[in-house]
Amino acid sequence: SHMQRLQNLQYRANQLNREGGGVQKIGSIIRAIIRQDDNPSPQLIHANAKPQDVLAYLTDQINECNAMDDKPEQVKRIIKRLKKMVKTSAACPCCTREFQNEQELDVFFNRMNELGDEDVSELMTSQKSQQIAPMLQKYETWRKSVSEHMNEHLEYTRLLADTTEVEQLIEKDGNSEVKDLEAELQSAQSKVNEKKEVASELQQLLTAVNGIQDVAKRMWEK
C-alpha cells in the first residue's frame, strides 16, 4: 500500500540522515564553505547545493591554490630554464631585449640566483605560500569527504522526492475516500428522508382510519 511504502521511505531517509552520517557531513561542509569563502559561487554553493556542484567547486579551488602556490622546486626549474635561454641567445627571456654588456648579464644572473635561493627569494618565502597551504589541505579534505559520501546524499535526495510523491498519492486517495463517504452519506440521508415521508403518510392514513372508526362508532350508538 501507499502508506507502507511511505513508512519504508521515511525509515531509509532517517537512516541516511543520521547524526554523523554522510548527508549531514556534506551539509556541514557546505556551511563551512559559505562561512569561509567570501563569494563561493552562490548559484552553485548554497544551503541545498547538489554534492556534484560542491565537488566541482572544491576541485576548482584546489586547482587555483596549486596555481598560486609557487613551490621551491617549481621556481628553481623555471629559473634554471631562464638562465639557459640567456646563455644561448644573450637576450632577456622576459622582454627579449638583448644585453648590451657583461655588466647587464651579471645583474641578470645575480637576480636569477637570488630568486632561486630559498633563503632570500621572495617567490619562495612569501606569506602567500604559508596562507595557501592550510587552505589547500582543507579543500582537499572536504573534496575527499564529499566524494566518499556523495552516493548517500544522492540516494537521500531521491528518497525525499519519492516521499513527496507518495504523500501526494495518499492525499489523493484520502480525498477520493472522503468523496465516496460523502456520496454514501447523501444516499443514506435520501433513504432516511424517503422513509420519513412514508411514515408521515402512514401516520396520516392511520389518523384518517381512526377518524372513520369514530364516526362509525357514533352512528351505531345512535
Q: For residues 3 and 181, give the distance between their C-alpha atoms in angstroms, rounded to a whole number.
A: 20
pLDDT, greater one: 160 or 41: 160
Enumerate helices (H) and strands (E) in the chain, giving the number of each.
7, 0
The answer to whether residues 51 and 154 touch, using CB atoms and an 8 Å cutoff, is yes
Q: Which residues contact 72 (CB under 8 A, 6 or more apart)?
A: 118, 124
- Average pLDDT score, the chain: 81
SS3 of residue 91 by DSSP: strand
Give every CB contact of residue 82 below 8 A, 6+ residues apart in sequence: 93, 94, 112
29: part of which helix (H) or strand (E)?
A: helix 22-36
Cβ burial, residue 57 (10 Å; 0-12/13-18/19+): buried
Task: Give percent of the chain above pLDDT 90.
Answer: 24
Give the per-residue pLDDT at 180.
63
pLDDT, mean of residues 9-15: 90
pLDDT digits (tens, 9 = 90+) for 145-197: 999 999 999 999 999 999 988 888 888 766 566 566 666 777 777 787 788 88
pLDDT given at position 124: 63
- The average pLDDT across 131-137 equals 82
pTM for the structure as a whole: 0.54
**What pLDDT score was predicted for residue 115?**
79
Segment 102-118, tens digit of pLDDT: 888 888 888 888 877 77
Amino acid at 103: Q
- Which pLDDT value is given to residue 181? 66
Asked if the model's pLDDT at residue 221 lies above 70, the reply is no
| Backbone conformation region of residue 18, classed left if phi is above 0, alpha if psi is from -120 to 50, else beta | beta
* Cell triple for 48: 541545498
